[in-house]
Amino acid sequence: MAKSKSKKNKDRRIILNPEEVNAYIAGSGTVVNQPITSTLESNFMPYAMSVIVSRAIPEIDGFKPSHRKLLYTMYTMGLLNGQTIKSANIAGQTMQLNPHGDAAIYDTMVRLSEGYEALLHPYVKSKGNFGKAYSRDMVCAASRYTEAKLAPIATELFKDIDKDTVDFVDNYDATKKEPTLLPVTFPSVLVNANKGIAVGMASDICPFNLKEICETTIAYIYDENCDLTETLLAPDFPLGGQLLYNKEEIENIYKTGRGGFKVRATYEYDKSQNCIDIKQIPPTTTSEAIIEKIIDLSKQKKVTEINDIRDETGLEGLRITIDLKRGVDPDKLMLKLFKMTTLQDTFSCNFNILINGSPRVMGVGEIIDEWLKFRMECIRRKLSFTLDKALKKLHILEGLQKILLDIDKAIKIVRETEEEAEVVPNLMIGFSIDEAQAEYVAEIKLRHLNREYILKRLDEIEKLKEEIAKLQSILKSNTKIKKVIVNELKEVIKKYGQERRTEIVYAKDEPEYVEVVEIPDYACHLFFTKDGYFKKITPQSLRMSGAHKLKDGDEIIEEIEANNKNELLFFSDKCQVYKSKANDFSDTKTSVLGDYIPAALQFDKDENTKYMAVTDDYSGFMIFVFENGKVAKVDMKQYETKTNRKKLLKAYSDKSPLINAFYIKDESEIVIENINGRKLILNTDAINVKTSKNTQGVAVMKLRKGHKVINAYLYKEGMLENPARYKARTLPASGKLPEEGEETGKQLTF
């Protein structure tokens, strides 16, 4: 094989003369300065335009080139009638028009099929597994296993296509002809959804009900200033669902071609099984995405009303079943899920359509107007084609009428003509008719050379004249052409009209989900250790428990009687505070280590806890004692947030290491110790409140060079025999060294 390939390549090599070789070598490696603008214009812009015009953006007939090539191939294969054939065969035939490969062609067929359920009116009738638009995991079978043919509505796509209604061009290798557009008899561009992403632009057209679109087009034909919302109620999706109707949003989309609206799932509550069955979902999501999101919310304990969720999709169609816990209100739960999952989602519209090769974003009225111009041109071309054939036939019959005057003469001329090539000229001379008329007469069979046959042909002359007059009358009148379109639209409604699938729900009448977190209200004891472990224990459990289990070297530094609804603020050694609630932690016992706060609240790397504050109304103050002898007093309200923020930066000053922090509501006294043993008792009222959290504070203890504060704790009655001597009249103060036997105890521990 390698030798054969090498020989083939050798045969195709290019022979250069020595001068060309030298010129090539001299130019290799040369850097040519070229403006990037000209490079983009010459290289990228043609590619961008090709994607826009020939691939991603639909045209006024409602199709992209890939759609049109596939459907036309199926039409030429005779698949409007008869049985389905293998999809692989169709994809192979389509490759004569579409050079992008059978996989891309088959994917296009899948999206147009009724089995995939992506279109309100599928153009391909399918047999086999074509996957589902609402499922990410239910993919189609290979093309060799499935079969397809054109659906009955496809008849409307090719009506009169053989009567010069649209232009035909060469395919990519100029071996076949293909239509530039399809002569659709209804505004298919607005009936079936179409989405495409080009270079620098995109298109996203929502589907509308066929009956409503046709009625709206008829109303527009009669009155261009008609109110579109009277007949075109709202978009309609193949999967159904509920559309939250906002008149201003819909009118804006109809006017500008841009905007969005909300679509949500529909559900049924089965009281006997205490479960919710979801059977219709928005077109922008999948059943797997919904299930995964609900499971994730359950794991995060944001949704606690669900026992189980499963996908029960089967032959009857989509179904997601949610088993509820006892006593759960299904309607309230669904309002919650609508807000937190894609069970309610926004469909964004961008009606970008190619008009004469140029992309235009248009409103519904403009699209209908452009489609009418296109359809009127199709009908004019069809009428002109029919008129031309009728005129030619009339001309032939008028020649035959002259022959009727003397059939024997015609026979005599043919009989007496010696050469066959002279028959037509002799007939032309003998009856004063032109070549086309004489050719027709010469081709009449011998059995038809009788008066009866010729009289029957001549009877058609009057009918032809009436038909020609009618065709000419229609061609001269736009009103009559529009009447033809109206009749076609009425016929389409009669044959293919369906009731709406998507229910219209007025948004202002629908209740919105307001998240109300019901936190159990009960007393509890909170314990916090030096190493950052936290325990929440109920009074009953505490009374029946023994000693606390702690890590070696760890000790409890805070014990607080609190409520399960209280908020917790954990200050770290990185000047940050992490907010949580007591309810976020499970009740536990003294026999366990508890929750490790840096892990539970996802602290940064190498970040540790320093202090825990517990509050219910953010009253009082935070006191921060720093190593440099300064103390900051911050209003607790500075840590209150309207949103549910979990982490606040710059919770206190980072200019000096934090020795200790205290949450106080009333006037308190704090003992501050420096490295050489001096103590100072500080009354918190002596410090002014600061508005910024990261204030450096005020100097409280005078420190000699190289000295620093090493400890701070709340003063308890009886800690010192003579506490008055440690209280300073003015700040900053140096503090006092304890006299011998004066210190009765150290900071109390639990």
pLDDT value for 85: 96
Amino acid (one-letter) located at 351? F
Q: If you compute the radius of gyration of the chain from its CA atoms, what whole number of angstroms results? A: 43
Half-sphere exposure of 276 (CA within 13 A, CB side): 23
Reported residue count of the chain is 750
Nearest to 381 by CA among 484, 513, 240: 484
The residue to which tokens 């169709």 are assigned = 90
Q: HSE (CB half, 13 Å, CA atoms) of 49? A: 9
Selection from 191, 143, 176, 179 nearest residue 71 by Cα: 179
Mapped onto helix, strand or coil, the DSSP state of residue 376 is: helix
Pick the CATH number of 63-183 from 3.40.50.300, 3.90.199.10, 3.30.420.40, 3.40.50.720: 3.90.199.10
Helix, coil or strand: residue 665: coil
The catalytically annotated residue of 24, 47, 145, 506 is 145
* 3-class DSSP assignment, residue 511: coil
**pLDDT averages per 10-residue partition of the chain, 750 residues:** 41 55 58 77 81 87 94 96 95 92 94 95 96 94 96 95 95 93 96 90 94 96 93 95 93 95 94 94 95 93 90 92 91 92 94 93 96 96 94 87 79 84 87 86 76 76 90 93 96 95 84 66 92 93 88 92 92 93 90 92 91 93 93 92 85 92 91 90 90 90 90 87 85 84 48
Q: Which residue has the tokens 């490969």?
A: 101
Is-contact 351 205, C-beta < 8 A?
A: yes
The confidence score (pLDDT) of residue 28 equals 55
Q: Is the dihedral of CA 458, 459, 460, 461 positive or negative?
A: positive
Ordered by start, the domain boundaries in the chain are 2-45, 63-183, 266-342, 372-496, 523-726
Q: Where are the alpha helices (DSSP H) in 95-239?
A: 102-112, 188-191, 210-222, 228-231
What pLDDT, on a 0 to 100 scale, did the predictor assign at position 728? 85
Q: Which CATH number describes the domain made up of 266-342?
A: 3.30.1360.40
- Strands 567-572 and 577-581, by their bridges, are antiparallel
The pairing of strands 202-205 and 194-197 is: antiparallel
Task: Examine the residue annotation and report whether 145 is marked as an active-site residue of this protein.
Answer: yes
By C-alpha distance, which of 291, 328, 296 is closest to 312? 291
Q: 């603020």: which residue's tokens? A: 569
Closest among 563, 513, 564, 567 to 302, alpha carbons compared? 513
Write down the CATH number for the domain with range 523-726: 2.120.10.90
Task: Count other C-beta atoms under 10 Å from residue 526's C-beta.
Answer: 20
At 27 the pLDDT is 56
Global confidence as pTM: 0.69
632 secondary structure, DSSP code: E
Structure tokens at 546: 């023994």
Q: Are 410 and 443 spatial neighbours (Cβ–Cβ below 8 Å)?
A: no
Is the domain spanning 372-496 CATH 3.40.50.10490? The answer is: no
Read off the amino acid at residue 361: V
Torsions phi, psi for 460 (to 5 deg): -75, -15
Q: Strand (E) positions, 507-637?
A: 523-529, 533-537, 556-563, 567-572, 577-581, 595-596, 609-615, 621-626, 630-635
**Cα separation of 735 and 709, whole Å?**
11
- Cα separation, 71 vs 730, whole angstroms: 94
Residue at token pair 């977190």? 517
Question: Using an 8 Å Cβ cutoff, are 195 and 66 in contact?
Answer: no
